[in-house]
Structures are given as structure tokens and as C-alpha cells.
Amino acid sequence: MLYSIHAKDHDGSLKARRDARPAHIARLKELLEEGRLFAAGPHPAIDSEDPGKAGFSGSLIIAEFPSLEAAQAWADADPYFAAGVYAEAEVQPFVLALP
């Protein structure tokens, strides 16, 4: 089943986000290689694809996991948590209706 992971950043975490990004992306690439990643990306803190110093307010990941518990465990192990980027992550089942 698909699950959405909506993570919210701590204020002022842009430097920590940049530093932890390679490890974060490596985990996402594993999901992609396994055919389990549907979508992933950050939420800019302002209305711009490149928010510059404004940074990001969080991230959205939609991926396939065997259970809600597995999705939550994967989210909790994200390097962004260890680096102090993410303040919290909400994990929910997701059903693709369109396209």
C-alpha cells in the first residue's frame, strides 16, 4: 500500500538540511531502485522553486510500504531527524485516485 509522509522542518534548519541531504537522498534512491517511490520533494518556505535563504518548511514522500508501522519506522529513521531538520512527520495511508 502507498503511504504519505509529510514531514515538517524545524525553523532555521536549512544548513542542517543541506548537510544531511546526501544521506536523505540515498535512502530515497533505495526506494526508487526497489520500485517503491511514487513521489518525493521538499516544500519551499516561500512561493518559489528555489527559495534561497528562506529554505524549506518540510517534505512530502509518497512510497509503498508493507504496513503503516513499516512506513512510520522508515520515516522515523530518516537522516533529517538525526540532523535536527525534521520536527515531526505524519504518516498516513494514501490511495491514488488520479491520474
Query: Cα separation of 25 and 19, whole Å?
Result: 11
* pTM of the predicted model over 0.85: yes
Task: Evaluate if residue 99 carries a pLDDT over 90.
Answer: no
How many Cα atoms sit within 13 Å of 13 on the Cβ side? 23
pLDDT tens-place string over residues 39-76? 999 999 999 999 999 999 999 999 999 999 999 999 99
pLDDT tens-place string over residues 34-48? 999 999 999 999 999
Query: Cα separation of 93 and 71, whole Å?
Result: 9
